[in-house]
Amino acid sequence: MFKDEVFDVVEILSDVRVEKYVSDQSSQTKKLQTSNALCQSSDKKTQEVQTDFEQILPQSTLIQIDNSKKLVDFIKSVEPLISEQLIANIRSHAFDDYVVDWNENEKLTEVVCKYSLKYSDLPSEKLVTSLTWNAVGSVIAAALGCGDHESWCIHQSFVCFWNIDRDSINFGRPDKIIENDVCITSLSFHPNESALIIGGDFSGKIYIWDLSQQDNYLICFSGKDEFSHQEPVSRVLWMKSKSSRSHKFVSSGLDGKICVWEFNQLKKELILNKCFLLPSNRMRTFKNSKSDSLLGITCVTQCPSDLSHILLGTENGSVFRCSIEFDISGKERKEYAATTSFEGHSVSVNSIDASQCVDDLFLTCSSDMTVRVYCLNKRKPIFIIEPTSKYLLSARWSLSRPAVFYLLSADGNFIIYDLLLNSVSADSTLLIQQEHLPVPSIALNNSQLDIFATGDFKGNIQIWSLPSIYVNEKNTEKLFFKEFEENE
């Protein structure tokens, strides 16, 4: 059924005619470099310390009461004498005027120069025409201009700012600089907003700068019309008010005008609300004065006791109190100011300042080389002082001591008067300008009461420190002026 069978071989030829050749290739990487390294940790040592044992305090301490007759008899014997002495000490006035000086090595009357500032890169020498401190008392602003004007002004002026609270002060280069084509004659920082400052120039323009701006500090300025100033602005002054957001200020000029301005900070607009004239024919002036002539106003200050009034001095020596509450409607802004006159100087009043410590008290200084101290309820001055044989350029009351005031003279002296000690001779005199050149500008610091600044005819701004004797108020100072105010 089954059997073996062999079939023929079948061969299938390939269609590829080219014969394939195969060759072998090999490759090898570089020899790996290896190395061995050993490391060992540092040795350690231990040290033990032990604190003292905590002392366990008793929870309560028993007080022993001595009721012995010997102690009671001793107390009864010394009590009347001790009580009598304690009552005498309370009633005593021996130390009323004593001021503790914690710096025993400091001289009581020494005024020390802390910094000397100057804009060294000025193209020509300038004088300091005005100084003012900002609200926090850290930045001093100085206006640098020319003092010899024959007619109109074509001088370039600068307003320079230094921050004295910085760690590093560049004494020859201000922190900020504002340039102006006309000489700036007066500056005033806002009493509450540290970045806001106003200025008036020789041509009669009013400027407002905001130092918080990045590039252009000027935010608005006044136009030239019949109601604005036509001659140099002698003073710009922010008006204090009950509102801390008030933006009203007063400007006075040598054209006899008193302008009341309002600054709209939101719209950045400057509005002239009121304009008063100070005519010479209504004042105690020269007999041959013309009826339409005007008195140039040289200085202005606000009455602390009545914020609706200002005090001003004029070119012919007259001193007035003026109300600024008179409303003006329409375009009839040129109304005569309602004034009260005082017995003034014989020549130009260079400075006027109201006391911040005693109400109704102010002083003036003049080129007649006298200082006059007034009460508002008296026409005649209560003091007339002649401290030097040179012109007096500026006068300021101390901000903390009612009986102390400061003077700057034309021979470069800084003079301090303490009326409690002597109303005739100066208490201290300091030569500020070594070349005896005039020092026309002074600014007291409202925040740092022992600091003030002066500016001279060579553009030097000096920051001074007052000793404690001129800063700390004495108990009897305000009573010193009471008898003068009560006696009519």
Note the pLDDT tens digit of each residue in 410-430.
Answer: 999 999 999 888 877 888 889
Whether the pLDDT of residue 476 is over 80: the answer is no
Structure tokens of 468?
Answer: 């404690």
Whole-number Å distance between alpha carbons of 361 and 377:
9
Residue 177 — pLDDT band, cuts 50, 70, 90?
Answer: very high
CATH assignment of the domain containing 476? 2.130.10.10
Side by side, the strands of the sheet bearing 233-238 are 233-238, 248-253, 257-264, 269-277, 334-336
Least confident of 126-135, 142-151, 447-456: 142-151
Has residue 377 been placed in a domain?
Answer: yes
Has residue 432 been placed in a domain?
Answer: yes
Residue 236 — pLDDT band, cuts 50, 70, 90?
Answer: very high
Has residue 28 been placed in a domain?
Answer: no
Has residue 41 been placed in a domain?
Answer: no
Whether the pLDDT of residue 306 is over 90: the answer is no
Whether the pLDDT of residue 123 is over 80: the answer is no
392 beta partners: 409
Structural domain tally of the chain? 1
Structure confidence by residue, pLDDT tens digits, 250-273: 999 998 899 999 998 888 889 888
Has residue 297 been placed in a domain?
Answer: no
Structure tokens of 57?
Answer: 């305090």
Residue 92 — pLDDT band, cuts 50, 70, 90?
Answer: confident
Has residue 53 been placed in a domain?
Answer: no
Q: Is the dihedral of CA 470, 471, 476, 482 positive or negative?
A: positive
Residue 316 structural domain: 112-287+306-486
Residue 333 — pLDDT band, cuts 50, 70, 90?
Answer: low
Has residue 61 been placed in a domain?
Answer: no
Residue 21 — pLDDT band, cuts 50, 70, 90?
Answer: low
Has residue 75 been placed in a domain?
Answer: no
Residue 392 — pLDDT band, cuts 50, 70, 90?
Answer: very high
Q: What is the mean pLDDT of the chain?
A: 83
